[in-house]
Amino acid sequence: KLGEGWSLVPSWEPKDQAGRRKQFTHVPMLVAEQPGAELELEFSGTAIGLLEVAGPDVGILEYSVDGAPPKQLDQFTEWSERLHIPWAYMLEAELEPGDHRLILRTTDKKNEASGGHAIRIVQFLAN
């Protein structure tokens, strides 16, 4: 379930001059660029993660699984300043087997080297 602030971009490409991996351009991505965008995902398994593109404008996410206290994730990598780099993050890896609910939101926080609050999801990783 997508809240306000999210869009499915059918053929994403960077708007800046930072480097990119050609296999991760002109592909569909779930994108939010402003703080406060929230989504909800129901999944089955014992783990949940994200395959995303972590570029110069990614922010700090907040997420919660099954109503647990929120955790934060700084998406900015050591290469993000100059590259839209594909990156996988495991949010939770030791859940009880079964059905779960992920709440994910963008925040107004960011790495001091980042230029924004974006997230670009290529795939959810559930196991």
Note the pLDDT tens digit of each residue in 63-108.
Answer: 999 999 999 999 999 999 999 999 999 999 999 999 999 999 999 9
What pTM does this model have?
A: 0.93
Q: What is the pLDDT of residues 36-69, one digit of tens each?
A: 999 999 999 999 999 999 999 999 999 999 999 9
- Map out the domains of the chain as residue ranges: 6-126
Answer for the pair 78, 37: CB distance below 8 angstroms, yes or no.
no
Q: What angle do CA 45, 39, 7 make, to 5 degrees?
A: 120
Joined tokens for residue 49: 């993660």
Answer for the pair 127, 75: CB distance below 8 angstroms, yes or no.
no
Answer for the pair 76, 40: CB distance below 8 angstroms, yes or no.
no
CATH topology of domain 6-126: Jelly Rolls (2.60.120)
Cα 98 from Cα 79, distance rounded (Å): 36
Per-residue pLDDT averaged across 2-27, rounded?
Answer: 93
φ, ψ for residue 106, nearest 5 deg = -80, 150
